[in-house]
Structure 1
């Protein structure tokens, strides 16, 4: 919203009764937002489209309620830490703009240790998480939590579950949340659907039928447009959307009708489940260091120039030099490795991914990851060959379906016995099943640090359903990396498949392939050029 609109809202907060006057309040909020703000029901559920201002409306209602009631906390839970902190910033913004900061005693982010549970049992371990906090002078607080539901265990108060269908541990979160409101507090949840097998969808069905005591709200993107969303966007952002043009833009970005129906029209897709529970994904995240690089098409052009046959040798050398600087730890590793190459050739669409694991007994741990978006096939070729040439004891596999047919055929010929092309058409079910088992047993691992969080959500976004006599695996939405349609996860699966190839024969293989032991770095520059 503009500063002018925010300033006008001051009067609404300072004098809460004015929010109930339709003509006055409609200057600041749309009807679907007002319906949520004005609803004082103890149990509320809101089926909603993406990006219609639901969380903003809840922040407004929440600040107003904390100031109206002493010693009444609000526990806000969402899917990740950035979303939790963004909500706190919104609440604080209300207080600042409305000149109500004098009522804030303290605010900030606290580090808290919470117990780690597995299958409902306390493991004895703890995990450190961050909790956003605003404390008012009437002893009411707003507390914002992210992914770990157990962070809420010691608190009581009103609860809001933001984008609840997309929370990785929704069932566990709900069990904790519903107990927090036992002493007469409120419980609200809202979100856009994520399949029809979620707890949110089941609760929404009850609410639609008038069961369970839930107050039901339902707002599609087309509902919000009819209530003035496009005009509000144009007013605050300076855009010039028409209503029809805005809806057309939503449909274009959704890419298909099923996605549009789920994301914008509150009609969830058919039932699928995550490849493994989130608790298994957590066990695959370990304290280990690994290197990672991502390049967009423009960056590739700026760093290395456009491909031209007459400048290929010099361009290849620049790419080799860049990769050598980006993956020093991977190059220094003397372990056995496997590589997965998920092929995509677009400057704007899906990711291409080269995923390298370090193999130790039955466990494969990510050692390097390169993702890029470009239709520069020469870059694809140079990058994949560099990894195959330079990484010690590496075996690889790539997706030879469709666009990947030619490049995987060439890699197979160039690295016989060391690289194999895999047809997703015939082998995707087997790949997914093998990956599912390795994730379930934590034999597939990757770094726990924040830079790799989207890898965890990429694996978790893989959906499974049992059709006929086999599992069918599809790509869901990666909430932390919208560019990846499980491209990273499938590259990880291909890496496991590549690792099944014949074992490494050590220094003998190095000498046969490169003419010297890999540990010999005396001719590093020449060696890089040979790649």
Structure 2
């Protein structure tokens, strides 16, 4: 909204809202924006496209090819470009309608073109992969999830990057199996280079979307009317609101990792060490608990730790629990060839805080070339995560809050590591593999659902409850292995002999007296 100033002048609002500026500000060969409907991201893209097409070649100017999936959105885009050209006071030709020839006369495509004195153009047309063959410039694929053959279209568009072009992909979601969602997950997993941008309807409103609506309509803004407007928009989309407005791809309730994939990565040579204390164990004298736990560590852990290769780099993930669920410590070794493998696994049930710390420190103190740890820092886990950071350095302990955003960003790389075999040697244990298999797509994000599973008991006796604990620890370990590490080292100086010290002191005394 416009704001009166003290001198009577009017302060005009910025033409673009914060999220629109953020999108334009991303300069990368490939950038992908997952967005809510009707937040004006294409409108902002049009502003950027006009600036690029109007610039001379030596200033980075290029021709822009816009591909929408229907004619209506193509017309809307080219009109926005014309508006921006006038707003920027750029000389530009009128919108020209033309025909893009195809080998099949029935498949000729109508195009809309604006030509600039720079010699560059903005060409808007509906999508067909063959249209991009041999072209050069910036390609904008709008509402990418709804194009007929996005995979082939992307293949043709990305070929332009060889000669310095750019590809901008913008869309709302259309299911988890859609090529657009797969593209996003590939970038998150590191399988494809690209920059990601995300803006939900709620984030756009927070950034001033409704205020901009009021400005266009010439109506006063009030928070109460904004709340009603937001409620009305969500009501309009109904059950589809999560996908259309909140950037959550639909139809995603299945398993994130297949059983076949997990079994391919298992090894019978990886032991699982399980320690369970009886109820009330924390009331035993502390020196007894410390002694018994140390004895367990030396009997069970030390032989395994002594076998670890000294030239490997090591990491760990830790999913913490005090009672009910398990605490799982997942060490991970990274070999010279970048392959990550599990030497052993530790599961702790009903183990007091002090003993969990004792066991964790016993392990990490003996890991070769320890680089990073990623403990679960939620709730009670924050205390142990902080203790580890104090002991090993805050630069080496990544205290993780397991939020939806963390799962969204880090589960695709974890899956990719399993698929390409760089994360290997998972324990061949039914409960452990069941935990990893427990990841489900919840609102388009892979995470552990609320439902708990039961460990396999003897005969008809039911086992203890599990909640995907080993799966979370594995994902945390993989996350730790992908983080940058800063290691500060020192070299001990050998102490000087008594004679050397006397010579040094004597030299110092003589220098003070001016005698050399």
Q: TM-score, normalised by structure 2?
A: 0.44
Q: Rg bigger for which structure?
A: 2
